[in-house]
Amino acid sequence: MFKNHPYWCLLAISFALAVLAHGAFLYQWTQGQYMTGINDGLSQMMPFKHLLYEQYTNGEFFYSFDFGLGAGTFSELAYYFSTSIVFLITIPFVWLLDIAGIVQEPDVLFWANAAVFISVIRMTFVLFITSRVFMYMKIPYWPAWIGASVYGISGMFFRHTVYWEFFADSFLWLPLLILGIEKIFREQKPGWFLMAVSISFFDNFYFAYINFLLSAIYILFRLFIPLSSAENNKKKKLLTFMGAGIIGFSIGAVAFIPAVYAYLNNHRPPFQQEIPIFDPFDNILYTSRYIILPALFVLFLFMFRFYGNKTFRLFALLGIAGIVMHLSPFVSSVFNGFSAPQYRWEYFISFAAGGAIATGLTMLTKISRRNFFIATGLTGFIYLIYALLDPALEFDWMETGLVLGGLLLTIAAVWTAFHFNKSGTLIIVGPVLLAWLIAYANFYQSEKIMEMGNVDQVSKELITGEDYDNPEIRGLLKQIHERENDEMYRIEWMQGVRNNTPIVQDFQGLSAYSSILNKNLLYFYLYDMEIDMQRESVSRYATLGNRANLFSLVRGKYIIRSADDSNIPYGFKELLESENYKVYENGNVLPFARGATEFYSEDKLSMHPPLVREHAMLNGIVLNTEEEGSPIQVTGDITSKFTIEEKEASYDDGILEVTGETGGIDLVWEDPAEGQGDLYVSFNLVNTAEDEGFNLTVNDYVTSRKSNQSVYKTYVDDLTIRVPYQDRVEIRVPEGRYFLTEIQLFEEDYETLEREADENAGLKELEIDGSRVEILYDNIADDDYLSAVIPYEMGWSATVNGVDVEVLKANYAFVGVPIEAGENHIIFTYRPPFFVPSLILTVLSLFFAMFWLFRKKRADSE
């Protein structure tokens, strides 16, 4: 059937193997459970696919106001899927199925359903491409395919796919890069390398970085291990690598440059924990979460006669180097951009192991009895050492038994082939290895991912239920949308700790979760306004700390709370009710665009507390300027009117010693003024415990703080908590020792907010179309500036009455423009940072690459 189509034959058997390798997940799919992680999988991967699919199929490629408070999705989601080639190829197929009525609307549930099938197809091509690479390196057909299976059917492939799906795409691009490297070394042909570099830079900047570090290691080894007679002029080859690399980078620049800008414009506190050079025990023979070395690879490493074959020597030494690097957290930090150690590059070890096994299988007929027994003895010794030195290793019939059973079967198969049927070595050893790979892959899916990672809980019932996409909340959202005619209004609602709930439930919210976010928004939350998010964590923003001024400024018009939650921001009135939830509406919401005459210096305001900064934004506009600005009025400071009472704790000179199960201090106002409003209590709080997270309670407001050892700790310890107006503020923390300093209290009567809400707005028309915002503003007050609730980032341009104007950073994290007296027609347009010049660079580089390759091909043929 496949006699005249060897490529299709290879593709077919690769597909069959991929199906078998996904056996556990395919079975789970028939049971209504899906191949996606319960945490980042459902909180990021599936929502981002849903968001980008909707954007792209609607013709919007650059910006979305549905992602948090608004974000440039092309650049900020380039770490995920916005430029992922696999995802971009998937979109038209899904779109055709959608318009044909074969699938329902591609929502989060659809993408969760599709995950296992996309993974099978991805693995098919990983096996196919890697087999072809090994075959190009003069490894025969079947050994090459078996070696490719070692690479493709690895635990890390499934780990990447389930938890962070776009990570798995790197399995496709590494073999292409290796093929490109080999083409230059063997034939001085840069085309494949240039293409692989272009794809990598376009697809994902993070894994481009990882894969190019891995490629550099491969090139370094290849410089000292020539595999063909045409590898003499090393300088010329290095120049070819450099030239092809630069051109490839330039072709991928249209995606890479905006993505890197977004990465640099992100904010994440630096990793402050010590990173050891060497940490010997992640047990890569028995229990590692990242990679388990096949017994055949370990056995082959001790077949010293094999090292006479240069191809085997290359892959074996690469594998050994990879194992040594895996034992170093510092190396894993380097691969993660010198941040917290992350073990995401180890698929390179599987690639090297696959190459070594593929080459070794071709030489098994040449080993002697002595070679076999020495290799078997040393392999057994290594397995024994790893078992004895790992204090956490426990014998388990499934995990340890599968590893040791694989070891014994491998030795038995090699012995049988060697002793009884040397001509049938591949037929005996190959199936044993494949059977073990399939068995371990399905065990890994069942035990390491489904059970240990709680992935077996990801089902239709979860995704459509009250813990993820609550139908009761959907009903309330529908009622809100039906009564609204505003172009832009925001709703505060988040399911548990899933900050991307607004994407899942299709409303414009006040929260976002992504590894890359707009730095200006993160600074707004963490430093400028000191907004407590009720859960300390990096890469997120959420809620507005029940602070009514902030709700009104960013058009937070509605909040949804559980029916028993009475801690409602000032000015919100109950609007709707369901069985378990209530909807409240903000009576003081401010316009999307507001004029201002008074401007305040951001730098001058930095010396004042958050409430003063809120008032500055209400009274005028805050600009990042060196000019003096309007005088700053500080009102509401009542710190001196409070006294401190200790509660199951001692407090002296900023040190709080809590002796009870919980304790702290009360701030007592002996003679409170009559009125309504809120109190803002600000302080700096540091837990001295080395590794202990805790809950902080201020009256009935509760927020969680990370352990000092957590990689998700923000190290932002200046807190401002809003509590309803009362004469006692109770600050409570668990037993322990804390530094509690810089305590201040302010009262807020909301006169400023209500005055601004009552003023007639000059906003006459507002039209938002993705990356284009059109405003008609009647400047009857003769204001100098206009601010809009559009997060500030590079990429926004603006015209006022047809004239280009500078987009100002206003109110810490939003945009502003100068305006004229009378009517102002304002258009904001977003394009990814450096998009136009990088697009020009990409197009020119494509033409140059074709010209360069054509000339090189012509010169080689003469």
The separation between CA 13 and the C-alpha centre of its own chain, rounded to angstroms, equals 33
Tokens of 382: 């290594």
Q: Do domains 596-611+625-630+755-830 and 639-753 have the same CATH topology?
A: no
The lowest-confidence range among 14-28, 236-250, 659-673 is: 659-673
Span 707-716, pLDDT tens digits: 988 888 899 9
Whole-angstrom distance, CA of residue 106 vs CA of residue 586: 33
Mean pLDDT computed over 788-811:
96
Q: What is the pLDDT of residue 2?
A: 42
Task: Report the alpha-carbon distance of residue 156 to residue 322 in Å, rounded.
Answer: 14
Residue 421 has pLDDT above 80, yes or no: no
Q: Residue 116's pLDDT is what?
A: 97
* CA-closest candidate to residue 372, choices 452, 302, 464: 302
Reported confidence tier of residue 7, pLDDT bands at 50, 70, 90:
confident
| Annotated domain spans of the chain | 6-264+290-451, 465-513+556-589, 596-611+625-630+755-830, 639-753
Q: pLDDT value at position 234? A: 84
Residue 309 has pLDDT above 90, yes or no: yes
Residue predicted with more confidence, 342 or 511: 511
pLDDT in tens, 687-705: 999 889 999 999 999 999 9
In this prediction, residues 351-365 reach a mean pLDDT of 95
Count CB-CB contacts under 10 A for residue 78. Answer: 28
Least confident residue range of 362-366, 370-374, 524-528, 620-624: 362-366
* DSSP code per residue over 335-379: HTTSSS-----THHHHHHHHHHHHHHHTTGGG--HHHHHHHHHHH
Pairing of strands 822-830, 796-800: antiparallel
Average pLDDT over residues 497-522: 96
Q: Is the pLDDT of residue 1 over 70?
A: no
Quickly list H helices, 576-690: 602-605, 610-619
In CATH, what is the architecture of 596-611+625-630+755-830? Sandwich (2.60)
Average the pLDDT over 803-828 and give the result: 96
Give the rounded percent of residues in the chain with a pLDDT score beyond 90: 82
For residue 243, pLDDT beyond 80: yes
How confident is residue 629, by pLDDT bands cut at 50, 70 and 90?
A: confident
Enter the tokens of residue 351: 């690639």
Can you give the three-state secondary structure of 731-743, one letter per residue? EEEEEEEEEEEEE
Span 418-431, mean pLDDT?
79
Average pLDDT over residues 796-804: 96
Angle at alpha carbon of residue 828, lines to 797 and 267, rounded to 5°: 65
Which distant-in-sequence residues (6+ apart) come within 8 Å of 713 by Cβ?
269, 536, 538, 706, 707
Whether 810 contacts 622, CB under 8 Å: yes
What digits encode the pLDDT tens for the residues 110-119?
A: 999 999 999 9
3-state class of 436 per DSSP? helix
Query: Which tens digit of pLDDT belongs to each residue from 728-769?
Result: 999 999 999 999 999 999 999 999 999 999 886 789 999 999
Over residues 359-365, mean pLDDT:
92
Of 211-225, 307-321, 361-375, 609-623, the range with the lowest mean pLDDT is 361-375
β-pairing, 785-791 vs 701-705, is: unpaired
**pLDDT digits 0-9 by tens, 164-196:** 999 999 999 999 999 999 999 998 899 999 999
Please write the tens of the pLDDT for every residue from 633-684.
Answer: 888 899 988 999 999 999 999 999 999 999 999 999 877 777 688 999 999 9
Low-confidence winner among 280-284, 435-439, 542-546 (lowest mean pLDDT): 280-284
Q: What confidence tens digit (pLDDT) does each residue in 49-86 have?
A: 999 999 999 999 999 999 999 999 999 999 999 999 99
DSSP string, 713-780: -----EEEEEEES-SEEEEEEEEEEEEEEEEEEEEE--HHHHHHHHSPP-EEEEEEETTEEEEEEEET
Q: Facing residues of 663 across strands? A: 733
> In whole angstroms, what is the distance from residue 110 CA to residue 661 CA?
47
Mean pLDDT, rounded, of the chain: 93
Query: E-assigned strands of 334-412?
Result: none
Distances (CA, A) of 221 to 179, 216, 244, 314, 316: 15, 9, 19, 7, 11
What pTM value is reported for the model? 0.93
Instruction: Supply the CATH classification number for the domain 639-753.
Output: 2.60.120
Q: Is the predicted pLDDT of residue 403 greater than 50, yes or no?
A: yes
CB atoms within 10 A of CB 407: 21
Picking from 252, 143, 148, 233, the residue whose alpha carbon sits closest to that of residue 186 is 233
Token representation of residue 744: 């201040």
pLDDT over 70 (residue 861): no
With CA atoms as reference, report the closest residue to 124 among 17, 269, 20: 17
The full DSSP string for 49-65 is: HHHHHHHHHTT--S-BT
- Backbone φ and ψ for 565, nearest 5 degrees, come out as -90, 115
Helix%, strand%, coil% for the chain, nearest 5: 50, 20, 30
Residue 127 has pLDDT above 70, yes or no: yes
Complete DSSP assignment for 613-644: HHHHHHHSEEE--SS-BSPPP---B-GGGEEE
CA 695 – CA 732 distance, rounded (Å): 8
Give dist(CA 530, CA 532) in Å, integer.
6
- pLDDT at residue 504 is higher than 60: yes
Of the CA atoms within 13 Å of residue 14, those in its CB half-sphere come to 30
pLDDT for 422:
64
Per-residue pLDDT tens digits for 560-577: 999 999 899 999 999 999
Q: At what angle do helices 835-861 and 191-203 cross, to 10 degrees?
A: 170
Residue-level pLDDT at 380: 95
| Distance of alpha carbon 708 from alpha carbon 691, whole angstroms | 6
Q: Is 377 exposed, middle or buried, given 0-12, 13-18 or 19+ CB atoms closer than 10 A?
A: exposed
Whole-angstrom CA distances from 448 to 24, 204, 861 are 12, 27, 54
Q: Is residue 358's pLDDT more than 90?
A: yes
Residue type, 551: F
Q: Considering only CA atoms, which of 240, 255, 84, 256 is closest in space to residue 172?
A: 84
